[in-house]
């Protein structure tokens, strides 16, 4: 009986607090995106815009201009005794600028990186690096999504 009452009170408090799921609406900006401007890694920029659900509306008279500047780096962190790489770091940096007629509305730079060990099999290492890149893009996309919602 006590569990039922506590469950009922918890549901009532969640309903009355104005809770709304974050991913309920993908694109709820005040104005539509009039144009995109991509610099840096084009593949990364296109994946981010598709994840965010943003579409270019060239017919809109007023709207935002979204600029994405992305940089991807693969660094060797350490080497073994013979000079071969033993630890790598893949970093992804994305700068987002949201303009409204030459006035910057929002601007932020997002960083994420991942460190991993080298593999003897170069094909597996290549596949692992692609998987890491996909995960980093997904992580940055979620951060951008939350930034645009706030």
Hey, is 16 helix, strand or coil? helix
- Residue 63 class from Cβ within 10 Å (0-12 exposed, 13-18 middle, 19+ buried)? buried
pLDDT at 116: 94
Residue 102 CA: distances (Å) to CA of 64, 67, 74, 106: 10, 12, 34, 12
Q: What is the pLDDT of residues 14-53, one digit of tens each?
A: 765 665 665 555 545 556 778 888 999 899 998 998 888 8
- Sketch out the chain's domains with CATH numbers: 25-149 (3.30.160.150)
Determine the pLDDT at residue 29: 56
Spatial neighbors of 99 by CB under 8 A, at least 6 apart, are: 64, 65, 66, 67, 105
Question: What are the tens digits of pLDDT across the range 72-82?
Answer: 999 999 999 99
* Rounded Cα–Cα distance for residues 37 and 68 (Å): 6
């Amino acid at each position: 009986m006590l569990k039922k009452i506590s469950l009922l009170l918890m549901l009532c408090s969640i309903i009355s607090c104005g809770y709304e799921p974050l991913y309920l609406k993908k694109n709820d900006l005040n104005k539509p995106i009039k144009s995109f401007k991509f610099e840096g890694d084009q593949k990364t920029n296109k994946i981010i815009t598709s994840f965010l659900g943003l579409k270019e509306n060239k017919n809109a008279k007023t709207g935002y201009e979204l600029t994405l500047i992305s940089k991807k780096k693969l660094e060797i962190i350490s080497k073994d005794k013979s000079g071969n790489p033993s630890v790598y770091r893949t970093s992804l940096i994305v700068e987002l600028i949201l303009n409204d007629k030459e006035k910057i509305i929002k601007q932020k730079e997002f960083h994420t990186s991942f460190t991993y060990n080298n593999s003897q099999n170069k094909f597996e290492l290549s596949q692992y690096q692609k998987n890491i890149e996909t995960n980093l893009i997904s992580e940055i996309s979620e951060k951008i999504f939350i930034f645009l919602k706030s």
